[in-house]
A and B are shown apart, each in its own frame.
Chain A
């Protein structure tokens, strides 16, 4: 079975993950009498997934490079408060300057915190676990200090659209156009890749396998666009659908970019090489310290973007956002096939992992499971994912 998948260019582990997700969806659809699969719930699920998935994309890089960041939830709270404070106490919520500058400040602060953490890890040799555990405490405290524990509201209307709520989506026309463009890009890319490999006489996956892949991915994309367009937009007068939420759009851009960086740039190649064998990276003359510093900066920026979406969605800045986000993000990353021993991991896996975690969370809310029990369940899932990873890694080595 595995060899057939291999030959067809399907990653066995990723395929298993997608199948598991599909099974959970079917089970939840049955258990909730179809409520789970309603356009409204799936739209919400897509927005909930974005926050975890955006940070998971950065966590993939960190865990691949044998690092970890436990501070992302606290950093979300801190940068979210800075964004809100800039709007409510400094630049005001009217016009567009205030909220745009607030975002720049939030992301800038995230990057600076990344420089701080990365410097301790890369240039002072303090383990990332310790530095970011300290950060977990520090940035939560800093978030409180921004406004002395107060909740900051109201925020700019335009800013709040970034949360995917009121007027926070593309609408059906643009969503369908984007979906069609996505499918076209997939086809073009597959053809170009086959041509390039054929030119150098490299081994090609069978045509049917590439075609099947295209049908599956393109089909999922169009089905998703169809579902979110079927969710009536309360803001639309003629009852049009919402279409893709703005956070989904941000996730798409970030994921495509980071996937490209991981697979097709020097930076990504060096991160993966460093994770596979830090000594080899050093002996090959890779700038390993700068690499680590940049990874923490990336994670800081992504945490700030996640904070921006969460704050916009809530419509106010509070210092309590992002609690336990680090666990959800790390769980999503590990479930998505990123190995805690370093060197392997994928952006696509992390996004499906985030979708799986949020699916369980969302499904349990629909089934009226208490938040205490949800925490226990998500914790068990994390252990199971790491256990599966060690089984799989051992199996692959044999």
Chain B
């Protein structure tokens, strides 16, 4: 098996709180792995470790078999991991192209920002995701939830990420926009991109995920194949921290 990401025994604590406790999980090419659990179960901290926001205390993160220590989000991006945070992490006062290239701006030979080329490139990638998106001079603050999500996804895709982390991408969206995001996930999966998906919505999880890793109190309860379990099994894992009795763990 060709693992894109392997997380081995990763720990992170804040003061006396063990936010992530000896976590193992894996992500393969063309696979969607759901990260599930209550609020405060450690999912968001885990993805912040994977995206380089916090350094890990102990354990190991391997990307394509090579061990990495992420000191900043830049390092994670350099390793090919793109993250779509729940807050989307967009600068609301700036327009779509500025946000898409934030921290990785295209420049002219003189070292100045190449704003026209960035707008052109942003137009290509964003309109492929959402053909209704036309106003590229509008600040993010004037955009709808779906448009913001489009910008955040486009930012992750433009740089040819092979590993994508999505933290509750549908939480603030209406039905049509949720559909667009789910379709995007399925398309990316078919292109061989590996995705960690955090979600609280069971139908979404059962539609797009291949496996699910359930966390409780910072530790992994179990990792299961979605095809082998029912939503009730997964809810039991999330709420009670029990492994499903009927099926073998994946």
A interface residues with partner B (beta carbon < 8 Å): 196-197, 199-203, 260, 263-266, 269-270, 272-277, 279-286, 343-344, 397
A276 and B103 within 8 A (CB): no
Tell me the complex Cα distance, A202–B73, Å: 32
- From A201, A203, A276, B91 is in contact (CB under 8 Å) with A276
Q: Is B162 an interface residue when CB atoms closer than 8 A count as contact?
A: no
Shortest Cβ gap from B155 to chain A (Å): 9
B94 and A272 within 8 A (CB): yes
Shortest Cβ gap from B100 to chain A (Å): 11
| Chain A residues within 8 Å of B85, by CB | 283
Q: Is B128 an interface residue when CB atoms closer than 8 A count as contact?
A: no
| Chain B residues within 8 Å of A263, by CB | 113
Tell me the complex Cα distance, A143–B113, Å: 41
A199 and B116 within 8 A (CB): yes
Contact with A along B99-122 (1 / 0, CB 8 A): 100110101000111011101100
Q: Is B183 an interface residue when CB atoms closer than 8 A count as contact?
A: no
A280 and B113 within 8 A (CB): no
B112 and A265 within 8 A (CB): yes
The chain A residue with its CB closest to the CB of B141 is: A397
- From B73, B77, B91, B103, A277 is in contact (CB under 8 Å) with B91
- What 6 A-B pairs are tightest by C-beta distance, nearest first? A276-B93, A343-B93, A276-B91, A285-B73, A285-B74, A280-B89
A275 and B93 within 8 A (CB): yes
Known contacts A265-B111, A272-B93, A273-B94; decide if A280 and B102 are in contact (CB<8 Å): yes
Q: Is B72 an interface residue when CB atoms closer than 8 A count as contact?
A: yes
Tell me the complex Cα distance, A285–B53, Å: 8
Shortest Cβ gap from B120 to chain A (Å): 4
17 A-B pairs whose Cβ atoms sit less than 8 Å apart in the complex:
A196-B116, A200-B120, A203-B137, A263-B113, A265-B113, A266-B107, A269-B105, A273-B102, A275-B93, A276-B91, A277-B90, A285-B52, A285-B74, A286-B103, A343-B92, A343-B93, A344-B93
The chain A residue with its CB closest to the CB of B52 is: A285
Contact with A along B137-167 (1 / 0, CB 8 A): 1000100000000000000000000000000
Tell me the complex Cα distance, A260–B111, Å: 12
A272 and B91 within 8 A (CB): yes
B102 and A286 within 8 A (CB): yes
Q: Is B87 an interface residue when CB atoms closer than 8 A count as contact?
A: yes
Tell me the complex Cα distance, A284–B98, Å: 12
| Chain A residues within 8 Å of B93, by CB | 272-273, 275-277, 343-344
Shortest Cβ gap from A12 to chain B (Å): 14
A284 and B141 within 8 A (CB): no
Shortest Cβ gap from A152 to chain B (Å): 42
A264 and B115 within 8 A (CB): yes
B interface residues with partner A (beta carbon < 8 Å): 51-53, 72-74, 77, 83, 85, 87-94, 98-99, 102-103, 105, 107, 111-113, 115-117, 119-120, 136-137, 141
Tell me the complex Cα distance, A265–B107, Å: 8
B116 and A283 within 8 A (CB): no
Tell me the complex Cα distance, A338–B3, Å: 49
From B92, B107, B116, name the one whose CB has the most chain A CB atoms within 10 angstroms: B116
Q: A272-B91, A274-B91, A343-B93 are in contact. List 11 more A-B contacts (CB 8 A).
A: A200-B117, A201-B120, A202-B116, A202-B136, A263-B113, A264-B115, A269-B102, A276-B91, A276-B93, A282-B73, A286-B102
The chain B residue with its CB closest to the CB of A345 is: B93
B89 and A283 within 8 A (CB): yes
Shortest Cβ gap from B75 to chain A (Å): 8
A276 and B94 within 8 A (CB): yes
Tell me the complex Cα distance, A370–B41, Å: 66
| Chain A residues within 8 Å of B105, by CB | 266, 269
The chain A residue with its CB closest to the CB of B121 is: A200
B90 and A269 within 8 A (CB): no
Tell me the complex Cα distance, A264–B114, Å: 8
| Chain B residues within 8 Å of A196, by CB | 116
A283 and B98 within 8 A (CB): no
| Chain B residues within 8 Å of A264, by CB | 112-113, 115
| Chain B residues within 8 Å of A203, by CB | 137
Tell me the complex Cα distance, A369–B94, Å: 43
- From B92, B107, B120, B137, A276 is in contact (CB under 8 Å) with B92
| Chain A residues within 8 Å of B72, by CB | 285
The chain B residue with its CB closest to the CB of A277 is: B91
Tell me the complex Cα distance, A200–B118, Å: 10
- From B91, B115, B117, B141, A280 is in contact (CB under 8 Å) with B91
Shortest Cβ gap from A206 to chain B (Å): 15
Known contacts A264-B113, A283-B73, A285-B73; decide if A200 and B119 are in contact (CB<8 Å): yes
A269 and B89 within 8 A (CB): no
The chain B residue with its CB closest to the CB of A198 is: B116
Tell me the complex Cα distance, A283–B94, Å: 16
| Chain A residues within 8 Å of B137, by CB | 203
Tell me the complex Cα distance, A344–B120, Å: 24
Shortest Cβ gap from B8 to chain A (Å): 24
| Chain A residues within 8 Å of B77, by CB | 285
Tell me the complex Cα distance, A141–B74, Å: 43
Tell me the complex Cα distance, A279–B87, Å: 9
From A266, A269, A277, A343, name the one whose CB has the most chain B CB atoms within 10 angstroms: A277
Tell me the complex Cα distance, A200–B103, Å: 23
Tell me the complex Cα distance, A282–B112, Å: 22
